Structure 1
Amino acid sequence: MTPAINILKKKKVTYTVHSYQHDSDHASYGLEAVEKLALNPDQVFKTLVASLDDGSLAVAIIPVAHKLNMKLLAKAAGSKKAAMADKAIVEKTTGYVLGGVSPLGQKKQLKTYIDASAAELSSMFVSGGKRGLEIELAPQDLATLTRATFAEICQHE
């Protein structure tokens, strides 16, 4: 069990675990989940950690096929600037390895923002806390558990 799954059990939230054999040569962890589990890419979300200009960290949960817009994330977080956080800091703060960072069960509660597109979904998929493990749950449940805000944080091509 991962910390993410333990939180869901403890809080009695409805969820489904989906696992697949992770290929370490795959270019994108999120898109690998889409392919191996035959999922809609709009329902599969990646968990990114950004560093804000005040030195704090923020979690951004966005669809795997999209890019995070740093200006929109900074604005949502009430900061002037945001940048991707250093890998070592992300792993130390969340307790998860990159490619397996779950928004749930992190060592430290961080400000969390879920892309607004998730609010329209009946269910979404996020990392279960290790590579090859996805958790399907309702976006509102994820927002409640992570104290997240829904916000427009993706880059629009």
Structure 2
Amino acid sequence: MLAKHAVTFTVHTYAYDPDAQRTGLQAAEALGEHPSRVLKTLMAEVDGKPVCAIVPSDAEVSMKKLAAAFGGKSAQMMKPADAERLTGYKVGGISPFGQMRKVPVALETSALAHDLVFINGGQRGLQVRLSPHDAMAALDAVSAALIADA
């Protein structure tokens, strides 16, 4: 999908730990990157419709802000089995790129401050490094404040 959109990216692999409590943070540590540059892909539902949220691996998503980003009233995380069925990827390896079914995508605004970010490439232990602006364009994503207040 990225090549089809002429997006410049590099592929990075790491030793995926299936026992890690937070796979995004484990990926950041394994890659030697700050967690704010390693983004996690989360599948959720806004008013019952599937959406994708991309946020820094060290952040928590505000369901209220997620719903607002898509013009909805309420949001909740998608059940892992439903996320796998919808995307065609396994949890821990869900990528926003090349999902089986295209869904609306929102990218956390703070990620745009980085020249390059890491986003899951569709397998556990596989990340692609690219410009967050290129990722937004390829995904036809919106930029929104999605992070819960600390």
Calculate the TM-score normalised by the size of structure 1. 0.92
Which residue pairs with 1:37 in the alignment?
Answer: 31
* Contact 1:102-1:126 at 8 Å conserved across structures: yes
Shift of 1:101: 0.5
Q: Is residue 84 of structure 2 the alignment partner of residue 98 of structure 1?
A: no
Q: Give the percent of matched residue pairs that are identical in Structure 1 and Structure 2.
A: 39
How far apart in 2 are the matches of 1:117 and 1:148?
A: 14
Unaligned runs of 5+ in 1: 1-6
- What is the total number of aligned residue pairs between the two structures? 150
Cα deviations by residue, 1:99-156 (Å, 9 ceiling, x for unpaired): 1100101011111000000111101111010110111000111101111001001012
1:140 matched residue in structure 2: 133
Alignment partners' CA distance in 2, 1:83 and 1:123: 29
Please state whether the residue corresponding to 1:155 is helix, strand or coil.
coil
Give the distance between the partners of 1:23 and 1:155, measured in 2 at CA: 26
2:65 corresponds to 1:72: yes
Distance in 2 between the 1:26 and 1:82 partners?
A: 26
Superposition deviation, residue 89 in structure 1: 1.3
CA RMSD of aligned residues (A): 0.9
State the shift of 1:11 in Å. Answer: 2.4
| 1:49 corresponds to 2:43 | yes
SS across alignment from 1:9: coil
| 2:55 equivalent among 62, 82, 102 | 62
TM-score (norm 2): 0.96
